Amino acid sequence: MDLQEYADREMLAMGLADRLASALKNSLMVHDHASFCVSGGSSPGPIFEILSGVDLDWSRVHVFLNDERWVPEGHPRSNTTLLKTTLLTGQAAKATLVPMVNDAATPEDGIPALEPGFDGEFPISLLLLGMGSDMHTASLFPGADKLALAMSNAAPILVPMRAEGAEEPRVTLSRRVLSEAMETHILIMGDEKRAVLERARKLDPMTAPIAAFLKDATVHWAP
């Protein structure tokens, strides 16, 4: 694990956006397209807003979320909606969004129609993860109902997930496909998250799912 520390969150946003832009440009130099897998929530918003203005061939970038809440687009808790208003604007509006949710009633019903959309996207070119205070990442929550399946080497691409710490059903990419990413960055902010990260490094991934991704990752932290 490589830890990059920044003086404040503004410096982190600028520094990480620059790293992600460079990685995308490098990937596009050697591949037909780049797959960019990103975390949801509000934390990466300032990074995405900077990145959306970067001049690169966004028409060859395929963007998708690590996970999604099973809510319709336009819902206040929809990460898809948040992504469209932060990253997929400006220059980056030309990128292709690979959907992580559809109109089916449940993730179990919707996943069969979603998985074909990921054909040709693996291994992930560039992965950005976050981490919760319970050491979850994506929707790989400690104690979640399908965590063992999602963490297994035989896991499918997408796994439905329900957990005590999640307000609604989720769909998540499995550990198998996330861990095979060509380049991984993890965003954390605040002293509490830094302490949680240090604890996670010593724990089993079934207890601390983020631990499954730390070995080859660059962690970006600011107070």
Tens digit of each residue's pLDDT (9 = 90 or more) over 66-111: 999 999 999 999 999 999 999 999 999 999 999 999 999 999 999 9
The rounded distance, in Å, linking the Cα atoms of 202 and 192 is 16
Evaluate if pTM is beyond 0.95. yes
Overall size of the chain counted in residues = 223
Per-residue CA distances from 129 to 32, 96, 102, 112, 179 (Å): 24, 19, 23, 24, 11
DSSP 100: S
pLDDT, one tens digit per residue, over 8-42 is 999 999 999 999 999 999 999 999 999 999 999 99
**Per residue in 173-192, pLDDT tens?**
999 999 999 999 999 999 99
Q: Residue 53 pLDDT > 90, yes or no?
A: yes
- Tell me if 27 sits within 8 A of 182, measured CB to CB: yes
Query: Position 145: which residue type?
Result: D
Residue pointed to by tokens 């965003």: 187
CA 145 to chain centre: 20
Cα end-to-end distance, the chain, whole Å: 19
- Give the Cα separation of 52 and 44 in Å (integer): 12
- Where do the structural domains in the chain lie, given as residue ranges? 2-222
Burial class (CB in 10 A: 0-12, 13-18, 19+), 27: buried
Which CATH number is 2-222 given? 3.40.50.1360
Distance CA 4, CA 184 (A): 13
The C-alpha atoms of residue 54 and residue 61 are separated, in whole angstroms, by: 13
